[in-house]
Each structure stands twice: as structure tokens, then as C-alpha cells.
Amino acid sequence: MSDERAAMLRLHDKVAIVTGAGSGIGRATAHRFASEGAHVAALDRSADALAETVAAITAGGGTALPFVVDVTHTDEVQQTVERVLAAWGRLDALFNGVGISGRRWGDGPVDQCTEEGWDQVLQVNLKSMFLVCKYTLPALLVTRGAVVNLSSVLGLVGGDEDFATHAYAASKAGIIGLSRAMAAFYAPQGVRVNVIAPGLIATPMSRRAQDDPHILGRLAQLQPLTGALGLPEDVAATAAYLVSDDARFVTGVVLPVDGGWTVR
């Protein structure tokens, strides 16, 4: 096998869980992991969306299985991890990609954010990551595996009036704190934990921004590297690196994939 071919199969025969695999960054990451040789356990609440993801992966010669689950429910997470282990017998990597914007529930600046919005966003964005990490870590400790948690640039820097969703920012900052604490604690046991903090990425969740001429007009300022939205594949490529052996000496990193948003 050529060196170039081997580099594209960095995840050969590894088993990876990808949450939020039904769309956006999660779907792109499931595709990327499978293209690099991983057996992908694709998790999402939507059976139809999962079916599309898995069908596309298998049509391309990859291996993936769908697992319909609400990752905010303890029993569902625990049972799903057990099913993944029953299918493949091991777990080498976890990509936690589930996340929501809370605007529909009333997320906004602190003085305007509703309690419902706060609770919903923290439940989906932060508690879900805790639960999935909690129930996958026993298997990851066996394989000395890797975790990648998806945060946001808004977990690193404050947003102005166009990005004033404070429950969302708090949840994404919480992911960073949780991940770095895990990285420090589990490093002596060989488990790596890293974070990706994307900027504006062209996904269904960013539809509001994509449809807003004002925000589109700001992209040259916000993401000056390209002056455009990033692609889900940009994040997926970063995730593949971080769970691969190429990143064997990397843990506790918060890596912005943001076109220059946070460099200012």
C-alpha cells in the first residue's frame, strides 16, 4: 500500500460513534470517518435522516449502522452504547456533534433569555455530551481511544448583537471546560479528548445566518480567510485528524475551524 493510500485510511478498522449524524457537521463527519476506513455507528433522533446518511456511506463502500437515539436520555444513551459494542465489540473514537440553537425556545441576551430556552439548550448541547462521554468512556479506556467534542467560536469569544444567544454560548463554553477537564484526567490512561470550535458553517442549523443579507455582508470581517461560510467537510476533516493516530500526542486542544473569526 502506498504511503498516500495509507494516509487516507487512518481509521482503518476502528469503530467510531458519531452523534448528530443525520445532518450537517455530524453527517459530514460520519462520511469522512467511513471514507478513512472506520466502522461508523451513526446516532441521531431522526430515523429518516440517519437512513440517508447510512445509505450514502454504504453506497460509497463504507460501513455504517444507524442508531436512533435521543442523547439527552440516560437510558437511551446507555442502551445504544451497548448495542454498538454488541455490533463491533470495541470502540475507538467518539465524535459528539449534537447541538441546537435555542432561539425558538427563547434564547437570547441574559436579560431576555427565557428559562425554557436556557434549560433546553444546556440539556441538548451540554448534558448530552456528558451522557455520551460517560457511557462510552469505559470502552474507550480499553482501546486508549479518542474523543472530539463540538463547541463553537461563541464558546471562546463574545458575540455581538447578531450572535447574542447566551445560553448557546454558555453551553459551548461548558463543552470546552468539560473536555479540558477530561483531557487532563484521562491522559494518564491514554484517552485523548479534544475540541473543535467552528465558526459559521453552511449547515441546516445556520440557515438563519445564510438567509440574512446583513450577516452575509459581514462574512469578510467575521471569517476573513475566505469571506464565506465554512463547509461541514472542513470540520469533518479536522475531526478525522484528531481521532487518528496522526494526533496521538494531542490532547486538551481547542481548535478553531473558523476562517479567522477568533484570530482578531
Residue 113: strand, helix, or coil:
coil
Distance of CA 83 to the CA centre of its chain: 21
Compute, in degrees rounded to 10, the torsion defined by CA atoms 165, 170, 175, 176: 110
Residue 248, all three cell numbers: 496521538
- Closest listed residue to residue 161, CA positions, set 85, 82, 214, 94: 214
H or E stretch at 68: strand 63-68
d(CA 198, CA 201): 7
Strands, E assignment, 141-186: 146-150
Going along 69-127, which residue ranges are E strands? 93-96
To the query of whether residue 135 is one of the catalytic residues in this protein, the response is no
The C-alpha cell that represents 119 in the structure block:
434549560
Evaluate whether 250 touches 215 at the Cβ level (below 8 Å): no
Q: Which residues are catalytic?
A: 168
